[in-house]
């Protein structure tokens, strides 16, 4: 797990020093309360919080479970083996990010951009990916059991051998997606049909 460093309070806030005064002016001009600034952790140089701007950040193996990263810019970030379980990533940009083996179970990713992201072997079980852009994403052998994918864009995504059982794919775009060996057992298909238990590589109607 990557170390988490919190900004030190001593010598930064209070005491009436010129340095403290300048910091207070800077924080208030950015619209960021002092307490919030001190509370936001910094992981590998990336300040973790809503709207964080950390493109290409090295967060390999970082523990970001439960973190609030709504609308964050994590484009092309290295998040391999990172723990993002239960994290809030609504509207976040993760296009081209490296998430192989990452834990995103129960994460909130509604409306997030994961275009071209590498998610092979990632755990996305019970994640909310409704309306997310997963075009050309690498999702082979990923765990998407019970995931909400309603209205998601999976254009030319690689879902080979992924577990998509019991997931909601209603209204999703699967045009050109690679589905060989993917398990859609019990999933809600793009047209609202419930897939049969033996649905491998495609949605099969119950007999």
In the chain the domains, ranked by start, together with CATH numbers, are 4-39 (no CATH), 50-207 (2.160.20.80)
Alpha-carbon gap, residue 64 to 54, rounded angstroms: 14
Q: What is the number of other CB atoms lying within 10 angstroms of the CB of residue 181?
A: 14
pLDDT (tens digit, 9 = 90+) per residue, 131-170?
A: 999 999 999 999 999 999 999 999 999 999 999 999 999 9
- Give residue 31's pLDDT: 52
pLDDT (tens digit, 9 = 90+) per residue, 165-201?
A: 999 999 999 999 999 999 999 999 999 999 999 999 9
199 contacts 179 by C-beta, under 8 angstroms: no
pTM of the entire predicted model: 0.81
pLDDT (tens digit, 9 = 90+) per residue, 56-92?
A: 999 999 999 999 999 999 999 999 999 999 999 999 9
């Amino acid at each position: 797990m990557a170390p988490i460093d919190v900004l030190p309070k001593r010598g930064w806030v209070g005491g009436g020093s010129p340095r403290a005064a300048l910091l207070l002016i800077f924080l208030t001009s950015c619209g960021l309360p002092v307490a919030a600034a001190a509370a936001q952790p910094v992981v590998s140089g990336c300040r973790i919080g809503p709207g964080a701007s950390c493109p290409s950040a090295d967060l390999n193996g970082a523990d970001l479970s439960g973190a609030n990263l709504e609308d964050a810019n994590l484009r092309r970030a290295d998040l391999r083996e990172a723990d993002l379980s239960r994290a809030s990533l609504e509207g976040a940009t993760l296009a081209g990010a490296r998430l192989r083996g990452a834990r995103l179970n129960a994460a909130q990713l509604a409306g997030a951009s994961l275009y071209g992201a590498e998610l092979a072997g990632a755990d996305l079980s019970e994640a909310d990916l409704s309306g997310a852009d997963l075009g050309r994403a690498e999702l082979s052998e990923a765990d998407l059991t019970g995931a909400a994918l309603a209205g998601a864009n999976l254009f030319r995504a690689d879902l080979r051998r992924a577990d998509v059982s019991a997931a909601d794919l209603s209204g999703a775009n699967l045009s050109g997606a690679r589905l060989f060996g993917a398990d859609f057992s019990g999933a809600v298909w793009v047209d609202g049909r419930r897939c049969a238990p033996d649905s491998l590589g495609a949605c099969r109607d119950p007999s």
